[in-house]
Amino acid sequence: MASKQILSPLPGTFYRRSSPDQPPYKDKGDSVAEGDVIGLVEVMKSFNEVKADTAGTVVEFLVENEDPVMAGQPLVELDG
């Protein structure tokens, strides 16, 4: 199977969950459908959903929760 990556659409801070008391959108081993939200990127108090542009299974997250990210930076590796 081919490996694919989900990239950050813009620079900011990456969050894996909608709020600290909520579970992550996706975890390692989870299936992802095209259009699924896998996280958020916060820029100046504005939260932008990061959606999968392809289907697959999460192999690993390439950044940690609350890490700063750049536009185009790989966030998640998918298999499938």
* pTM, two decimal places: 0.92
What's the mean pLDDT in 11-21? 96
Which residues are CB-contacts of 68 (< 8 A; sequence separation ≥ 6)? 11, 12, 13, 14
Structure tokens at 19: 């709020």
Using the predicted structure, report yes or no on whether residue 39 has a pLDDT greater than 70: yes
Token digits for 22? 């909520």
Domains recognised in the chain with CATH numbers:
3-79 (2.40.50.100)
Rounded CA-CA distance 23/38 in Å is 12
Whether 1 shows a pLDDT value over 60: the answer reads: no
